[in-house]
Amino acid sequence: VALAISFMINLFVTTVFAKGFYGSKEAGSIGLENAGQYLQEKFGGGFLPILYIWGIGLLAAGQSSTITGTYAGQFIMGGFLNLRLKKWLRALITRSFAIVPTIIVALFFDSSDALDVLNEWLNVLQSIQIPFALIPLITLVSKEQVMGVFRIGRKMQMFCVKSIYP
């Protein structure tokens, strides 16, 4: 469910930017710092200015992806690694992996231009790494020895592979 919510929020954010700025002269100069201002100028306001909607959307996208990663870390620590930790300690460790790097970046990168460049490099890195995580996952969930009756069928397997390599 968390992945579906994260996907929908990010899809909406991407769609708004595509609709508003694709092919425009402003597209090359939009970054995290000024994106809300550009949206405000392009779409205006109303009862709730678009600048605030953008901020809420950005916060929701960050929260949903962080929560998804944190839950994945908790399941890995609890099940796959067979670590027996108290729940509060496991939560502290996995949430620290999510928040500590963010705090470090916020403290040491005070230039918004540097943050925009860092964001672009993170997006590139993710696009390279995601297939390496998904290929073993699709392989494992397709095996009856691993998943039993819950294994995915051939159609779902092909859909997943096509989503990685369109």
| Model pTM above 0.85 | no
* Residue 165 scores a pLDDT above 80: no
Q: Give the containing element (helix H, strand E) for 139.
A: helix 112-141
Averaged pLDDT of the chain = 78
- Residue 39 neighbours by CB distance under 10 Å: 21
Distance CA(82)–CA(96), nearest Å, equals 20
C-alpha neighbours within 13 Å on the C-beta side of residue 1:
0
Give domain limits for the chain: 1-108, 110-166
97 near 121, Cβ under 8 Å? no
